[in-house]
Structure 1
Amino acid sequence: MSQNIIQPDTVFTVTNLTLLLRDVLESTFTNITLEGEISNYRPNSSGHLYFTLKDEGAQISAVMFRGKAMSLQFTPKDGMKVRCTGAISVYPPRGNYQIIISKMEIAGAGNILQLLEERKEKLAAEGLFDQSRKKHLPLFPKKVGIVTSPTGAALRDVLQITRRRNPGIDVIIFPALVQGDAAAQSIARQIMVANYFKMCDVLIVGRGGGSLEDLLPFSEEIVVRAIANSQIPVVSAVGHEIDWAISDYAADVRAPTPSAAAELVVPIQADIRKGVEDCKNELYAQIQQKVQNLKLMIKSFDVNNMEIRFRSIEQPLLLRLENAKESLRQNMNEKIKDTKNRIQQNLNILEGASPKTILARGYSMVRTSDGKIVRSHADVLKNEKIEIIPATGKISAIVESTENTNFWSK
């Protein structure tokens, strides 16, 4: 039923009118894009998102169901300006209409920069940008891969620079979408393909310049994680020198442009050849110098020179030997002399203590007839036979008397 066929005297019930309006709205606004500011944001525990879209003059209820909300690359907040795509729906029991959103993105550069900053902080907190993860670029790559649009100017620049600098290097193109909703998935998939099959030594991921929105795929989480997890060293080359993407932080090296990336990873063939030639010449010169030095050394080793050199080494050693022998002889003589003196002194002491020496001074030894030494008058009796032994000979005697007299005190 349309307005043209509604009779002026037609009486509607509330339900009939509401259903009529629902049919008109839902059949007319099936796929619209609506821009506004989020208000009264209410995420549901089931995963559905409920909020209000408003601008200066009006507002509309909005809902994004869980299946679509899972694909969001940002967290909606009150006050955030967004661009939503969806269909108008009418809920008859309440008599209101709303937009059921199938796609939502941030609108406006300011909010995009805020989103990128939040995402960068989140990924940095996970350690994806840590310096310890960075890999060195190969000095002499044989195969260079590039993930970019197969029809873009970036690819043409890389191919041209590679051919000019080193035509011996192969360039493997991993064609990918670099703009639009499917771009992030396409870029990440090609990075993973290059790694899975180990198809190149270094990988350039990038595109030419564009607006901030155009470069967003290179800041998507799926792309950043693919770069961070790549076993192949990655050079991020997105846009012009003033442009940036989060992929710059995850990559091993950031190049200001795709052309600059090609110059970073592709060494100039002529420079390589010159470097090899310089190394060869330097090595040859060093070998020649060493050979010349060896020849001079060998030349100096003839018979006469060898004898002179041997004598010059031998003479100081012989002199040291003679000095050592003389010193040893003198020390031994001194030791022998000291030993002889000590022996003589001990001999004199022993000889002085000998009984023969004592008897020779005029002393005699007295013994009884049974051989006992007489040391006291009490050791003998009157009329007892005794023997007196002087230094020579022996005297027999009979004791006439004994006295207890201290002879030495007189």
Structure 2
Amino acid sequence: MYSQTNSPANQSVYTVSRLNREIRTILERGFASIVLSGEISNFVAPSSGHWYFSLKDDKSQVRAAMWRGNNRYAKFRPKDGDQVQVQARVSLYEPRGDYQVIVEHMEAAGEGQLKQQFEALKMQLAAQGLFSSAHKKPLPSTINKVGVITSSTGAAIKDILTVLQRRAPQLEVVIYPCQVQGDQAHVGIIEKLEIANARNEVDVLIVGRGGGSLEDLWCFNHEQLAHAIYQSNLPVISAVGHEIDTTISDFVADIRAATPSAAAELVSPDSNQLRDAISHKRHQLHSAWRHQLHARQQQLQILQSRLAQQHPANQLMQQQQRLDELQMRLHHAMEARLSHQQRNLSQLGMRMQRANPSHQLASAKYQLQQLSSRLVAAQKEQVYTAQSQLAQLAARLDSISPLAVLARGYSITKGEQGIIKSVQQVQPQQLLTTVVADGEIKTQVIGVQPKG
């Protein structure tokens, strides 16, 4: 005796719906939030407001959907061929069993890749301790000489000199000119940092430039520059771009100024130094708050993803996607049906054209004309034949006509009882009429003499 514990009859039997539902749960838990880059293709935006498309690279592709509630915050409307970077979660479209990604945020690929590199380097340097507040040097209590590492022709140096002239014209300024934009700009900035530290002629260094795009400011996100700022013996103030711009230099520098003008205010003594100190603390608090906020946002995304797995709205979106798909299929089917009916109508029109009575009527009219012509010809031939026969009969009749006989010299004698054929019909003194060819002769019988 033995038991069939592994028999298929003892195994749990899955329905297709259950299998797809459980696979979707596994995918959404395992890939709650990913960053994905690729090229847009097969982009469709139906009347529901949702976006459906594919993300592909040179070897593979994956279907994607971006719900209306998320795509309305996109900075641009994508089209086929666009390179994008998206934040998404992996899911499964249960009705078809199709694996897909649900996009929650989208941006152009170039900017997204730079941001990704920025975040990766920031995490790497933070792990190495380059952002540690314990290493940051405070500003000297007395500042007499300020060094500025920036472009000698840019807006940043003009703003710094203007602020310093207004707030502390007694301060000496040493400018270390260099390029602050381009692939090799970080090399020049590092060189000026090393020169300033070697000379040790200033009390503090301002490193920065005016605002620009992420690409314009990218030299301040270089790892080598971060280490050079970290190793500087002089206090370094990072003043790159506008207030909303943030670079690696801002995190590793001893102090981060929102703008070059703000950096000039930090190094220039003023009666309102307490306000500057508060502003500095506010910036530090803001930086710490942003780090805390980022951590909380990541935790919130995880919780939202877990909630979305059980929320009815997720099922509603699935059904909406199914409805959009059915609407598109119906639209294509109706177009195909209409095209088929139009072809049938065209064929029936051609058949009706060929069966038009006007063609048969024209043919019958032609036949009638032919028959009429033949009838006229036959009638003429019959008349000619009749005329010929009549002429022959007239000739024959004329040959036996009494008039013809009279014309040959004969005559006809008539009495009161008609033509006289015998002498017995005549009496003496009887009045007779003799008909000849050219008239009649009245005679009176003198006597009658029979033959014999």
TM-score of the aligned structures, taking structure 2 as reference length: 0.37
More helix per residue = 2
Alignment TM-score, normalising by the size of structure 1: 0.40
